[in-house]
Structure 1
Amino acid sequence: MDNTIDFYRQCVKKILCEYEYLKDEDSQIELIFDDERMRYMVLWVGWYKYKRIHQCAVHIDIVGNSIIIQCNDTEESIVEKLVEMGISQNNISLNFIHPQHQNYLEIVT
């Protein structure tokens, strides 16, 4: 199981590092990697005129033998990238989809 978790961590970090390009003139990207709690995030942080920017772009947790995507506010499919890296789609959950609608994901994906 430790090897699986280490592999999951490596894959998640590699994917999230690719999001550094999302920065613009108003905001920077902050990557937050918490290996102890197995929580990984990409945040937009900055200012637009007098308005504070502090928004989650991606939030992924590793719980047990599963990768849980809590938030994906990008246009890219993180699930697809994880599957391409060798992680079974059965071990990936999209928790930003209401549980009532989770059954429809099997049809779509």
Structure 2
Amino acid sequence: MDSLDYHRIITEILQEYAQIPYAHRSLERRLIIGEDHKSYALFTVGQLNNKQVHGCVLHLEIIGDKVWIHQDGLEDGIADELLNAGIPQDKIVLGFHHPDLRPYTGFAIG
């Protein structure tokens, strides 16, 4: 599986998340895909209780032959969805874990 397959899988999954409406109609999700199709971010933006909301829910990046998960704010996490979509476990790096902990996750270490 190459980075074009990774791009297709990641884009499809994140587009589904971007379409889920918030209970607070003043908030929305924004999906950002880098021009090189190797960087992905899903943000929550809007106004809530008269305050600006701007937060990164997900940040993924294709580095070499691996998908790095830098930020994962989903309730159940994105890693299992990537696995179910066909990305091998040894090609997914849980980058939000310290490098010393990665060998114990069952995923790639880097």
User: Is TM more than 0.5 here?
Assistant: yes
CA deviation string 1:3-46 (max 9, x = no partner):
61110000000111111215332311101011416100110000
Structure 2 segments unaligned to the other structure (5+ residues): none
Which of these residues, 8, 12, 15, is aligned with residue 13 of structure 2?
15
What is aligned with 2:59? 59
**1:46 equivalent in alignment to 2:46:** yes
Q: Note the aligned Cα RMSD (angstroms).
A: 1.8
Alpha-carbon spacing, 1:10–1:58, altered in 2? closer, same or farther (3 Å): same
What is aligned with 1:80? 80
The separation in 1 between residues aligned to 2:106 and 2:40, in whole angstroms, is 25
Between Structure 1 and Structure 2, which shows a larger proportion of helix residues? 1
What is aligned with 2:36? 36
Aligned residue identity for 1:26:
S
14-23 vs 59-68, which deviates more? Answer: 14-23
The separation in 2 between residues aligned to 1:91 and 1:35, in whole angstroms, is 22
Q: 1:78: Cα distance to partner? A: 1.4
What is aligned with 2:104? 104
CA deviation string 1:37-67 (max 9, x = no partner):
6100110000112211000011100011000
Number of residue equivalences: 105
The separation in 1 between residues aligned to 2:5 and 2:83, in whole angstroms, is 13
Find runs of 4+ consecutive structure 1 residues off by over 2 angstroms.
Answer: none
- Where 1:99 maps in the other structure, the secondary structure is coil
What is aligned with 2:4? 6
What is aligned with 2:69? 69
Aligned residue identity for 2:45:
V
What is aligned with 1:25? 25
- Where 1:100 maps in the other structure, the secondary structure is coil
What's the TM-score once normalised by structure 1's chain length?
0.87
